[in-house]
Amino acid sequence: MSYLCEMDNAWRRFSSASVAKGFFKLENGECILDHIDRVVYHNPHKKMVMSAYGSLLTQEWRSLPRWNKVANEIGDRTH
């Protein structure tokens, strides 16, 4: 759980700083991941990386209109 918490904190800092510095200009309904082709994780444990990326997508998409489609297909797992 610590890894996911640290990853979440690092992503939030990266996101805030990147938008503030103008590296990303997000349109309505977009998130930073829409502008990034690859995300690199320094972790040898495949399942932890998959969980971390799922957590990241949930965090980024939860406030976007596309989340309704995802939640309808797989269920809203944010509760």
Domain that holds residue 34: 2-74
Question: pLDDT grade, residue 79 (50/70/90)?
Answer: low
Q: Identify whether 52 is part of a domain.
A: yes
Q: Kindly state whether residue 17 falls inside one of the protein's structural domains.
A: yes
In a domain, 79, yes or no: no
Q: In b/e form, how buried is each residue of 53-70, taking b as 16+ CB within 10 angstroms?
A: eebbeebbbeeeeebeeb
Find tokens 């309808």 and name the residue: 72
**What's the whole-model pTM score?**
0.69
Mean pLDDT of 49-76: 84
Radius of gyration of the chain (CA): 13
Whole-number pLDDT of residue 67: 87
**Residue at 15 is within a domain:** yes
CA quadruple 60, 41, 72, 28: dihedral sign = positive
Question: Is 43 domain-assigned?
Answer: yes
Pick from 45, 67, 46, 49: which is nearest to 58 by CA? 67
pLDDT at residue number 24: 92
Q: What is the model's pLDDT at position 16?
A: 92
Encode pLDDT of 20-56 as tens digits: 999 999 999 999 999 999 888 888 888 988 888 888 8
